[in-house]
C-alpha cells in the first residue's frame, strides 16, 4: 500500500504570503529477488548504454560519461525482453500510480513514461535539479535498488534552503511532482549505487519527441490492473 506524505507550508498570515501542499507517494517493491535481478542486469547493461551518444545529464552533475547523460536515448521498459523482472517492475509502478492518484483524489491520466537509470560510485552525488516546470509538468519518480547510506533531499517551493529528505531503501518507490527540485548527498561506499528515475507525460499534450517513451497508463491498463 502506498503512503502519501505532504510537503506543507505554514498557514499564510496575510493575503500575499505563499502556501503549498505538495503530495509525495512512497511505497516499497517487496520482491527482493526482482530488485537484485534488475540491479545485476543494469550493471551489465552499463557498457552498452555508454556506447550511445550523450545528450546532457539533466543537471545532475554526473557528467557526460554516465548512463544518466543518455536518459533520452533509451527507455528502461524497452528492455523487458532481456530481463523479465523489468516488466514486473513496470506493473508495480503502474499499480502504485493508481493507488497514489486515487488516494490524492486526482484523475488517472493517459500517460507515456520516460525511464532511465543512474549509477553512482564513491565520491559522486546528484546535484540539485528538477524535471521541468512547464504547464504540462506532471509526476516524476525514483526507485532505489539497495539499502544505501544516502538520502534524497526535496526542496520546499519558494524556500530553497529548506528541505525534506527520504532515506534511500531497497525497492523504495517515490512519486513527486516533476517541478520539485531534488538532490542527493555524496555516496561514500565502495560499491555502486543504482537508482531508476522516470517522468510521466500526459498523452493528450504530446510527448517530447527526442525522448524514448513507452505507454504507461490508459483506461484498458487501469482496468486490467484493478482486476488482477
pLDDT in tens, 147-170: 999 999 999 999 989 999 999 999
Distances (CA, A) of 105 to 6, 99, 137, 161: 14, 10, 18, 30
Share of the chain above pLDDT 70, in %: 98
CA 149 to chain CA centroid, nearest Å: 19
Taking the model in full, what pTM does it have? 0.95
> Above 70 in pLDDT, residue 207?
no
Domains and CATH numbers, the chain: 23-227 (2.60.120.620)
Query: Residue 182: what are its φ and ψ, rounded to 5°?
Result: -150, 165
Q: What is the mean pLDDT of residues 102-119?
A: 96
Give the pLDDT confidence of 47-95 residue by residue, as tens digits: 999 999 998 999 999 999 999 999 989 999 999 999 999 999 999 999 9
Angle 52-57-59 from CA coordinates, rounded to 5°: 170
pLDDT band at residue 208 using 50, 70 and 90 as cut-offs: low
Rounded-to-integer distance, Cα 190 and Cα 121, Å: 7
Amino acid at each position: 500500500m502506498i503512503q502519501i506524505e505532504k510537503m506543507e507550508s505554514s498557514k499564510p498570515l496575510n493575503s500575499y504570503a505563499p502556501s503549498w501542499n505538495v503530495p509525495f507517494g512512497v511505497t516499497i517493491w517487496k520482491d527482493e529477488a526482482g530488485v537484485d535481478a534488475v540491479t545485476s542486469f543494469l550493471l551489465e547493461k552499463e557498457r552498452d548504454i555508454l556506447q550511445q551518444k550523450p545528450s546532457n545529464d539533466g543537471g545532475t552533475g554526473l557528467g557526460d560519461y554516465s548512463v544518466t547523460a543518455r536518459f533520452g536515448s533509451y527507455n528502461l521498459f524497452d528492455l523487458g525482453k532481456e530481463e523479465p523482472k523489468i516488466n514486473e517492475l513496470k506493473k508495480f509502478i503502474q499499480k502504485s500510480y493508481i493507488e497514489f492518484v486515487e488516494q490524492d483524489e486526482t484523475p488517472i491520466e493517459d500517460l507515456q513514461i520516460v525511464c532511465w537509470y543512474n549509477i553512482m560510485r564513491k565520491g559522486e552525488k546528484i546535484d540539485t535539479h528538477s524535471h521541468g516546470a512547464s504547464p504540462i509538468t506532471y509526476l516524476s519518480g525514483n526507485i532505489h535498488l539497495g539499502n544505501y547510506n544516502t538520502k534524497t533531499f526535496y526542496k520546499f517551493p519558494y524556500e530553497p534552503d529548506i528541505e525534506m529528505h527520504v532515506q534511500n531503501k531497497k525497492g523504495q518507490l517515490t512519486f513527486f511532482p516533476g517541478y520539485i527540485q531534488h538532490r542527493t548527498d555524496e555516496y561514500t561506499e565502495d560499491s555502486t549505487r543504482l537508482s531508476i528515475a522516470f517522468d510521466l507525460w500526459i498523452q493528450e499534450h504530446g510527448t517530447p519527441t527526442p525522448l524514448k517513451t513507452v505507454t504507461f497508463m490508459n483506461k484498458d491498463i487501469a482496468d486490467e490492473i484493478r482486476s488482477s
